[in-house]
Structures are given as structure tokens and as C-alpha cells.
Structure 1
Amino acid sequence: MRVAVVGAGGWGEHHARIFSRREDTELVAVVGRTPARTAARAERYGTTPYTDLDLMLERERPDLITVCLPNEDHYDVTLKLVHTGIPLLVEKPLVFDLDEADTLLNDARGNFFAINFNHRYAEPVQRAKALIDAGELGDLIFATWRFGGEPNRGGSPHANLIETQCHGFDMLEHLVGPISAVSAHLTDKTYGAFSTVALALDFANRAVGTMLGSYDSSYAYPDTQHLEINGTEGRLVIHDTVRSLSFSKPGDPVERRWHSTYFDDESRNFAGTFDRHVDALLTALRAGAEPPIHARAGRRALHLAHAAIKSHETGRRVACVPNDGQYSANRPSAGGC
């Protein structure tokens, strides 16, 4: 399968790494904006550099295109690629604006259109999902997500909420179920943007939850990312996405714990979660199926982020229509998100 990567930045290197080293794909192009940087990336992974997207499309005719651009520069390039009809994998966030998200999804109907919420493919997360699906936690009662590190500043005052905590929205709905309401407290006390956010959540299954996301912390701290889910029959805790998973039963002081073993480098490698996602994505693409994580999930995370923004601005709890796997092209009414 011929794959082109659009983007020559930091995380874009993992796109080039994966598709250049797989036996079932050929990396046919790296497209970037800076000639020297693009040429260096292409040389490192044995492919052709381009700074002209149209020229690349004409010459290489890829079977799959992946996109990894600066967070607030996704829309124009993604829309152009959606219109080619070529299967597409984009990095999160989908976009920052709901109207733009709706345009992308409307124009891509029927096309293979995936988004990289790679946290879902961490070993602890997959094991947690299996425990929940098997009923080991009983009825879910509450969930807590915390994720924070150094600033990733951008033009939007809500960069942390939209481009980083989208993982939290996606993960909580993936494991607990649809979020039905959001109440938000945001602070801009450090550098002018809303760099730390605290949210209270209602779920459609009557569980409750919290989210704390920050750009005023450090990725060097233990438990930079912490996820806890508590049910009537047990509790699970995920530490730093790939580090470990613990599972406890009520009244039992002995916990079960998964951690990567001595020789198991793959499962403790955060970048490896993307490799796992690509495995599932290519399987679906070859089978003619929908992507394992459709771009609709990116629109849903954005929808919830905008609900949090509205809650902060109005000082009110904002109800959210639970997602049924689709989305509405119509903007929500004033009473909901």
C-alpha cells in the first residue's frame, strides 16, 4: 500500500517511521512546508520530499494519506485531501471550529476518514476495556481523568482543552459511555490562555466524572496522566497511559496489577500505541470497512470541548446530546451543546 505523509514536524516523524518500516506499506512521499526540513525527513526514511501537495498527488497517487500538521492549521489541507477521495488518517484535534468539522464530515461521507486517538491502543487501556466489557467493574459509578504537562501554546485560548484534553473526552466515552452534561471551571492566570481546566461530567448511564487538564504542570511528574474508573464491583486505575493498570475488588486489600515485563519494550512505548492503531486501521482499510476510530470521534471531542467553553462562559451546566455514532450537521440549539 502506497502511503504519503503530509507534515514534517515532531510527531509526523512517527508517521514516516511506521510506514517506511512496515513490510506491507511503502512510504512514497513526505510533504512539508520547509524545503530543508522536508528533504532531511524524506532522506532519513528513504522517500521523496515534496513542498507542493498537488504535485505529490499527481506523481505518487497514494493509496492512503496521513496528515500531521500544527494543531490549528488542519482545516484547509484536510478539506483539500477529503475532496480527493483518497483514504485519510488525520491527527487530533480534527479542527478547532465545529462548522469546519461538519464541513469535513459532510464532504467526506462514504470515504475512509480516520483520526488518531492512539491512547485507545495502549495495553492498559485495552485491558481496562476488556474488564469493563466483561462486567468485572459492575455498574460504573464514577471516573476521573487527569492529564497535564508543559505549555503547548497556540493562537486559541482553548488550546489545552481542544487539542490535548480531546484525549480525555474520547477515552472517557470509550470506557464509560456517552457524556450527557458538562460543567466547567477554567483559569487563565499564568499566561493569558485557559491553560488549566477542571470539568464535572454527567454520563448517560448516570455515572459521574471529573477531568483535570493542565499546561501548567510537567510531563516529568509521575502520573502525568491518571485515569480511575470505579464501579459497584471493582475499581481500575491506569498510570501514565502505558505504564501500568491496577484492578481492585471491594473489601480486598490485594490488587491485581499489569505492567510491562522485562523484555516487553513494545507495550511500554507510548509511540507504539500509534503502531497498534495503524495495524487496526490497515486491516479495516483492506477489508473495505470503516476505520477503527472514525473522524466523527474528533468531531465529538470538539463538541464536548465547546460545551465546556459554553459552561465556563455562562456559569451554567450544559447538557449534551449523547452521541449515537453519527453527528448532526445542524448546529445545536441554545439549550444544549
Structure 2
Amino acid sequence: MTDKLRIAVVGAGGWGRQHARIFSRRPDCELVAIAARTPESAARRAAEYGTAGYTDLAAMVKETGPDLVTVCLPNEEHFAPTRALIETGVDLLVEKPLVFDLAEADELLALAAERDLFFGINFNHRYAEPVVRAKAAIDAGELGDLVFLTWRFGGEANRGPSPHANLIETQCHGFDMLEHLGGPIRTVAAQLTDKTYGAYSTVALALSFESGAVGTVLGSYDSSYAYPDSQLIEVNGTTGRATVHDTIRRLTLSRAGDETTRVWEPGYFNDEARSFEGTFDRHVEAVLTALRAGDPPPVPAAAGRRALQIAQATIASFERWTRVDVAEFGR
């Protein structure tokens, strides 16, 4: 690697712009290429950031020699481009969801492992300041033994071909976050509804954790991101409770029996912490630090496989009308 890391971005959509923004502004990086599905979109986004545009991924890697390629494509079109990039031998950071099919996830992970590639996934919620502080409080024992955890996340529909787009594409953040804070999920019991437009747009889940704790998930495409607390995490232990409001907006920490609550909110000048996009900047900082040091990704792509595994157990629970062990779908 040179002093400046050479970065290529695959994807010219709205969140792909965030990828390009970050790497074009970092003084330790050079944005060497942007790839898209059509020549027009590739040329347009590349011109916006003063770099080269591509539609051929193999040619892009060969001609620009990136140290890292980041991938941000439509949710259900991840597999083939990611596989093609792995075959070039380049290190990768991909957007969630990893894929929609467990066999495809296993194939990608195996191919990347064979080539000893750096292969990370962007579960950026982990890097929100309230989540970082909640995790620190849990690890320090401030909440005692965890007893129950709740994830709620709902907004306008992001429709896709899969009837389970909400579960796999959006609530994957919830599965990752609940395990990040509470440890492995053991079983799931599911209720899903297709009441509004045919897909399973709202899900309600009951969970058990390996630790003995229990949990709930309420995830919806039948709500609105305009509502307060459209995203809410509650972690309740034997001696305290933590709540995260709207990912970046607020953290509250309470002690059992104490009516005084500690609150963190970003201050007047703390624009970075109140920005959802800034959680990705923070993750990129950790990614590049690990890449330069030769360490594994801070959030490995296997975490994407794990979220998909829990989603598949959820689907099985709903179809069988019973509680399902997550281990049925692999470890």
C-alpha cells in the first residue's frame, strides 16, 4: 500500500454518494474510480468527484489498482458483482444486506477466505455515539445482567422483489445491534403481516438469547421516519437500563430504583455526532485503520451472514407457526 490508499466505489446511487463523499475528502485516500451499471450514471458520478468511471469491474480493478473497493448497489443485486470483485483478489467493504440467500452468502465468504481477503460489511449503526456509549455501559457492568432487549425500527417502504425485503434489508441492522449489545440470539418466534401492499412489510418477533435474556423486534415499512423514535433500542438489566433514540439522537442511562436519569445528546457544535451519515465516516476510519495494520475488518462480512441467518430462522418460524432455533441455519 502507498501512503494514500487507493479506493474505488461501486455504485452511483444515493448512499453510494456517501461512499464517494467520504473517500474523496479524506487526505489519506485517493478516489481512483466509481463504477455503475450504466455508462451514463458512471460518467455522471465520476465527473462529480473528478475520477474515472467504469461499468466493467474487472477492468476497473486492473487499470486503477485499488487497495480497497467499496460496494453499494441495489439491495437484491449484491451477489454477482461482489463475487466478481472477490475473484479479482481485491479487498472489500460492502453494504448491507450481504445477500438474500444463505448459499450465496456462504459462497462469498468461502471465496474471500480462500484468497485471504479483507472483507467487511457496513453495519454503521454500531458507530453511532449513543450506541458506542451504551455498549461501554453494558461492558462496564452498569446495567447488571441483561434480562431483555428491544429493537423497534419503522419507516416508509423500501420495496423490492423479495416479499421479505423489510426483514432482510432493513431489520438486519436490528439483528446485528441486538447481538452486538446482548450476545447471540438463540431462538425466534415470528408474526409477519402483508396487510398493506403484498410483501411482509411489518414483523413482530420474540427472541431468546444464549445468555438467558429475552428480546423483541418490531420492524415496519408501514410507518414513517418522520415520527419521533422511529428507531428505538432498550436494553434492560438487573441494575439499570439504556435506551437509544433514533440511532444518533439520544442515549438515556437509568439505575434501578433511582428516578434520576443520565442523558447524552449531541451539543450545539457537535454536528458530526448528530449526523446519521457520520456513523459511516466513523466506520470507515476503523476500516482503514484495520486495513493499514493488516488486521481483520472491524465488522466482518460474516456479520452479514449472521443477520441473514436470523432472518431465515424468522421466515421459517412464521411458515411453520412455531419457535425456531437459529442454529438450524448454521453458525
Per the TM superposition, whether the score is higher than 0.5 is yes
Q: Summarize the alignment of residues 1-337 of structure 1 with structure 2, pairs less than 5 Å apart.
A: 1-109=5-113, 110-321=116-327, 332=328
- Counterpart amino acid of 1:133? D
1-structure distance, mates of 2:199, 2:98: 20
1-structure distance, mates of 2:62, 2:211: 49
2-structure distance, mates of 1:29, 1:244: 37
Higher helix share: 2
Query: TM-score, normalized by length of structure 1?
Result: 0.95
1:251 Cα offset (Å): 1.3
1-structure distance, mates of 2:147, 2:63: 54
| Aligned partner of residue 267 in structure 1, secondary structure | coil
- Counterpart amino acid of 2:263? R
Are 2:190 and 2:317, in contact at CA under 8 Å, matched by a contact in 1?
yes
1:35 Cα offset (Å): 2.3
Deviations 1:286-320 (A, max 9, x none): 11010000000000000000000000000010012
Give the corresponding residue for 1:329.
none
Instruction: Name which of structure 1's ranges 236-245 and 82-91 shifts more when overlaid on structure 2.
Output: 82-91
Deviations 1:227-286 (A, max 9, x none): 000000100100000000000111111100000000000001000000000000000001
How many residue pairs match? The answer is: 325
1-structure distance, mates of 2:154, 2:45: 29
2-structure distance, mates of 1:269, 1:38: 27
| Aligned partner of residue 162 in structure 1, secondary structure | helix
- Counterpart amino acid of 1:55? A
2-structure distance, mates of 1:47, 1:74: 23
Percentage of matched positions with identical amino acids = 67
Query: TM-score, normalized by length of structure 2?
Result: 0.97
Instruction: Name which of structure 1's ranges 254-263 and 51-60 shifts more when overlaid on structure 2.
Output: 51-60
2-structure distance, mates of 1:157, 1:227: 25
Unmatched tracts of structure 1, length 5 or more: 322-331
2-structure distance, mates of 1:136, 1:43: 50
2-structure distance, mates of 1:292, 1:317: 32
Instruction: Name which of structure 1's ranges 81-90 and 20-29 shifts more when overlaid on structure 2.
Output: 81-90
2-structure distance, mates of 1:86, 1:56: 11
2-structure distance, mates of 1:35, 1:244: 42
1-structure distance, mates of 2:252, 2:282: 22
2-structure distance, mates of 1:111, 1:56: 18
1:53 Cα offset (Å): 1.7
1:86 Cα offset (Å): 1.0
| Aligned partner of residue 194 in structure 1, secondary structure | coil
Q: Which stretches of structure 1, 4 residues or longer, exceed 4 Å deviation after superposition?
A: none
1-structure distance, mates of 2:12, 2:53: 10
Instruction: Name which of structure 1's ranges 26-35 and 46-55 shifts more when overlaid on structure 2.
Output: 46-55
- Counterpart amino acid of 2:72? C
- Counterpart amino acid of 2:262? R
1:55 Cα offset (Å): 2.0
2-structure distance, mates of 1:266, 1:122: 10
- Counterpart amino acid of 2:100? F
